[in-house]
Structure 1
Amino acid sequence: MRTLLGAAGLALMAFGGLLLWGRSTHWDVLIWLAGAVVLHDGVIAPLVLAAGLLLGGLKKRGLLRGALLSMGCLTLIALPLLLRPLPTANSSVLPLNYVRGLLVSLAVVAVVAVLTGVARWGRSTLNSRHQKRS
């Protein structure tokens, strides 16, 4: 199954490359892909590794990792609109303040993570007290 999926992926990539090569924008795409590799290997991967090293000593780090992963995904989704907002002919197409929206979304994830952590801590404290009485 893995070989079949890999072959299908390679075939689709080759087909996409053939479609792209006939257009005049193929150099722009190659530059964009090279930039994506540099961004990933030079910025994103070191940040993830540093976060992993910092979180490695924590006992219950799953909740924090989940919150950081969610925040990273939210940031990556909003990044294109934050870095290069496109002008539109219709002002109602993208009327929102995306910086504020991203910050509110990140705050919601942080609050939910803290509340979940507090609830888990409270539940474990109650369970340990209940077990000591028994």
Structure 2
Amino acid sequence: MTDHSPILAPIVALIAWSLVMWVWMYATRIPAMNAAKIDTMNLVGGSGADLKAVIPPKAQWPADNYNHLMEQPTLFYAVALVLAMLGSGGGLNLTIAWAYVGLRVVHSIVQATVNRVIVRFAIFMLATLCLVALTVHAAMQVF
């Protein structure tokens, strides 16, 4: 067994969660598209924005969240890998990384179900504070 930085586990967990949201996205969008009588077999071009006009908002929420998981978490992946390479992927940084992942999972569930913006915003801000802390810790070592 190879030794590895423990901060790699939250990275893999968030990637796995992103894939769960990918499944959730299609599990809600395809039935909504069928209900809207969209001929998916002959559909050419188009975008998620086009679908928003014809499917219920609740069917779009998991897709919106999946897109969000492709945005800010890319910064998390980068800083977590930097901390892993620096040998600082345990202890407090590991706890903060798991907090970030947990908050992003809660954010996903809120957005894909009730989608209360103020609740999402609060969760997003807490997750962002985790990202800031990880970035400061990495910067303290590399600069």
TM-score under structure 2 length normalisation:
0.33
Higher Rg of the two aligned structures: 1
Greater share of helix = 1
